[in-house]
């Protein structure tokens, strides 16, 4: 993902990075140490796998039913934890830490989702 540089320049973004699906840091920018970036990457992968598994179960439970074609859910592409002052947003193989008072979560999420449209999420 080469959009991390653009992401970290968005209003309110404290740090952003990308990781492998094994939890290793690929790249990070912003106010994080290497150790913090590695810990965050490991946390991102662990939570992403869990959320993805739960999403897959919901997808199976809400699959097509006769007469109601649009009832199904799709598996998760990421997760968000919104705190009082900061938010962690994870989409595909990238993360972002946002200072809530200085940026828009909607703008960040829209940007991240657009940039990861073609990501190979099957590795999660």
What does the H/E/C string look like for 39-75?
HHHHHHHHHHHHHHHHHHHHHHHCCCECCECCCCCCC
- Average pLDDT of the chain to the nearest whole number: 88
Assess whether pLDDT exceeds 80 at residue 10.
yes
The per-residue pLDDT for 13 is 98
If one compares 72 and 32, the residue with the highest pLDDT of the two is 32
CA count, 13 A, side-chain hemisphere, 2? 0
The per-residue pLDDT for 89 is 96
Give the chain's count of helices (H) and strands (E).
3, 5
Assess whether pLDDT exceeds 50 at residue 85.
yes
From CA 32, how far away is CA 123, in angstroms rounded? 26
Residue pLDDT, tens place only, 90-113: 999 999 999 999 999 999 999 999
Q: Most distant CA pair in the chain: distance in Å?
A: 53
How large is the average pLDDT for residues 34-52? Answer: 93
The per-residue pLDDT for 98 is 98
Kindly list the structural domains of the chain, giving each domain's residue range(s) and its CATH number in brackets, ordered by start: 4-117 (3.30.450.30)
> Worst-scoring range by mean pLDDT, 4-13, 72-81, 114-123?
114-123
């Amino acid at each position: 993902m080469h959009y991390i540089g653009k992401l970290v320049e968005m209003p309110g973004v404290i740090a952003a990075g990308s990781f492998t699906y094994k939890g290793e840091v690929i790249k990070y920018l912003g106010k994080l140490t290497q150790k913090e970036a590695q810990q965050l990457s490991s946390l991102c992968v662990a939570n992403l796998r869990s959320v993805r598994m739960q999403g897959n179960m919901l997808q199976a439970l809400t699959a097509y039913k006769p007469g109601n074609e649009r009832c199904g859910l799709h598996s998760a592409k990421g997760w968000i934890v919104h705190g009082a002052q900061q938010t962690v947003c994870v989409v595909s193989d990238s993360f972002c830490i946002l200072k809530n008072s200085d940026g828009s979560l909607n703008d960040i999420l829209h940007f991240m989702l657009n940039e990861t449209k073609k990501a190979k999420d099957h590795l999660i």
